[in-house]
Amino acid sequence: MSQRDNLIEYLLRLGDSALIQGQRLCEWCGRAPALEEELALMNVGLDLVGQARNWLDYAAELLADGRDADHLAFRRDERAYRNLLLVEQPNGDFAVTMTKQFLYDAWHFQVLEGLSRSGDERVAGIAAKALKEVTYHLRRSSEWVQRLGDGTEESHRRMQAAIPQLWRFTVELVNADELDQRLCTAGITPQPEQIASAWQAKVAEVFAAATLPMPEPASHFYLSGRRGLHSEHLGLLLAEMQFLQRAYPDATW
């Protein structure tokens, strides 16, 4: 693959993860545990979908095959989606949602911080803007993990149930693949090992403050969102998200 192809693939990973995480947050609309959370969940979702649009816009420009960001978002099938398995997992209860958000935010923050120093100016620019938003997301989700972990007996029990549901998918956050290595060597993306260790440290710190045991590192997993091998959840999510564009492909919205 050429450098350009590598970058396109990487941009899809970033954009797809932000989009799918944003889509899951949309599902909370009207169902949050407090009014302040309605506002916050939609706010975080809005940031993420906005970031997805920026990444997909850039990917579409590099692709230069007539597809735009909307085409990439609404006309690709699940085998072409490159998001992390973690973000496509169902919302579950608030403990699952917040744990998922935290595990993603802690990773996302490190990635964006590294990307804000990318040798690719456009990547650095998008990342720098997104980093400001994700700094807030991480603060918020870290606080919720602590509130729930170190709250009542019930909230602690729910957090202890949420972590194993999600933990196996974190293997994708800490294990780099060849693409990550190549783009790192080219000076476009940060060192995967650094991201992995910083992520690990952040999770350990917040889990400790939340009185939650830190699991062993997740081991090999059969599926890989980065290669378009998703869990069964993504297909349904896309069926809902893409319905209008699929049903009315000639329409202008």
Partner 1 sequence: MYAQLVETGVKRVKVLEEMSPEERAFQEKIDAEIKIEAKNWMPDAYRQTLIRQISQHAHSEIVGMLPEGNWVTRAPTLKRKLQLMAKIQDEAGHGLYLYSAMETLGADRDKEIAKLHSGRAKYSSIFNYPTLNWADMGAVGWLVDGAAIVNQVVLQRTSYGPYSRAMVRICKEESFHQRQGYEILLTMMRHGTQAQKDMVQDAIDRLWWPALMMFGPSDEHSPNSAQSMAWKIKRQSNDELRQRFIDQTVPQLELLGCTAPDPELKWNEQRGHYDFGAIDWSEFYEVLKGNGPCNAERIATRRDAIDNGTWVREAAVAHARKQQQKRDAA
**Contacting residues toward partner 1, per CB under 8 A:** 22-23, 26-27, 29-39, 42-43, 45-46, 49-50, 52-53, 56, 69-70, 73-74, 93-94, 146-148, 150-152, 154-155, 158, 240-241, 243-245, 248, 250-253
| Contact between residue 16 and residue 195 where contact means Cβ atoms under 8 Å apart | no
Which alpha helices (DSSP H) does 64-152 contain, by range?
69-75, 85-88, 94-115, 121-149
Q: Which residue reads 């302040």 in tokens? A: 36
Q: Give the Cα separation of 247 and 201 in Å (integer).
A: 46
CA gyration radius, the chain = 18
CB of 27 to partner 1, least distance (A): 6
Nearer to partner 1, 53 or 226 (CB): 53
CB of 35 to partner 1, least distance (A): 6
Query: Which amino acid is it at 139?
Result: R
Nearer to partner 1, 2 or 35 (CB): 35
Nearer to partner 1, 119 or 249 (CB): 249
Nearer to partner 1, 64 or 251 (CB): 251
- The sign of the CA dihedral 198, 1, 55, 52 is negative
CB of 56 to partner 1, least distance (A): 8
Nearer to partner 1, 45 or 225 (CB): 45
CB of 69 to partner 1, least distance (A): 6
Q: Give the Cα separation of 98 and 215 in Å (integer).
A: 17
